[in-house]
Structure 1
Amino acid sequence: MRDCFRSSIERSSPMSIRRIEAGPRMSQAVIHGNTAYLAGQVGNPGANVTEQTKAVLAEVERLLKEVGSDKTKILQAIIWLADMKDFAEMNAVWDAWVDPAHTPARATGEAKLATPDYKVEIIITAAV
C-alpha cells in the first residue's frame, strides 16, 4: 500500500507559477493554477483619494488583462486607506467601477502606507 501511495505522488507534478513584471523585491502579479494574486497597487503620490483610486483601478484592470482575467473574476479585494475619513470618497470611485453583478469579497482598513503621499492601496485576488 505504501509503494502505491509513493508512486501516485511521484507521478503528480506541481502546478506552475508564473510571475508578471517580476523585480528583485516583488512581482506585480503571480499566477498559480487558476488564481492570480496582484501586488498592492497604489496611485500617484500626492493626488487626492479619488484620483489615486481611479489610477489604482486602471492599473488593476491592466494587470488583470495581462494575466488573462478581468474585473468580473475578482474573488477578493483588500483595500487599505491611510485615513478612514476617505472611505466614502474611495467607495464612490469603487462603486462606479465594480461590476454590480460580480462584486468580490472585500475588506477595507486603515494603515500607514509606504509613504504619506499614498492615500489608498488595493490588493486583488482573481480567478484566471
Structure 2
Amino acid sequence: MSRILRSDPTPSLSKAVEYHGFIFTQGVVSSDLAGDITAQTQNIFMQLDALLERHGTDNTRILQAQIWLKNIEDRAKFNSIWENWLPEGQAPARACVQAVLADPRMLVEVMLVTTK
C-alpha cells in the first residue's frame, strides 16, 4: 500500500497531502489580510512556493488550480500576478470563480494539484 504524507494536519485539514507523487494543497489564503488583492495574491504565492518546495516540487509542475475571488472584478489584477508567477508555457488547467470566503477580509484563495 502506498504511503500518504500529510503536512501539518489538524482535525479539519492538512496544508498538503502527498500521494503517488501528487501533491494536493489546502486552499491557501494570505497570512496578512490587511493587504489589497495584489498583496494577498503575492503572499499566497510565497506560501505556495514554500509548501511545494517542502514536497520536492515547484510551480513548473502544477496540473490544476482552483481560485476563489471575493470580487470577480479582481480577476485581471490576479491574472497579472499569476502570469508573472507561472513559468512561461506552464499554465495548468484552472477554474476561477467569485465566492463568499470564510473571512470578509479574504480577497482570494488558491488551491493546487501538482506532481513531483
Asked if these proteins are the same fold (TM beyond 0.5), I'd say yes
Higher-Rg structure is: 1
Look up the SS of the partner of 1:72 in the other structure: coil
Which residue number in structure 2 is paired with residue 39 of structure 1? 26
Distance in 2, matches of 1:19 and 1:102, equals 26
Which residue number in structure 2 is paired with residue 126 of structure 1? 114
User: Deviations along 1:62-91, whole A, 9 cap, x unmatched?
Assistant: 000001111000001111000101111111
Which residue number in structure 1 is paired with residue 67 of structure 2? 79
Relative to its length, the structure with more helix (as a share) is 1
Q: Which amino acid in 1 is paired with 2:14?
A: S
RMSD: 0.8
Which residue number in structure 2 is paired with residue 67 of structure 1? 55
Distance in 1, matches of 2:91 and 2:73, equals 23
Which residue number in structure 2 is paired with residue 95 of structure 1? 83
Q: Give unpaired runs (5+ residues) of structure 2.
A: none
Structure 1 segments, 4+ long, off by >3 Å, are none
TM-score normalised according to structure 1 size: 0.87
Report deviation, 1:34.
1.2
Q: May I ask how many residue pairs the two structures share in their alignment?
A: 115
Q: Give unpaired runs (5+ residues) of structure 1.
A: 1-13
Distance in 2, matches of 1:103 and 1:85, equals 21
Look up the SS of the partner of 1:55 in the other structure: helix
Distance in 1, matches of 2:55 and 2:10, equals 17
Picking from 75, 99, 109, the partner of 2:97 is 109
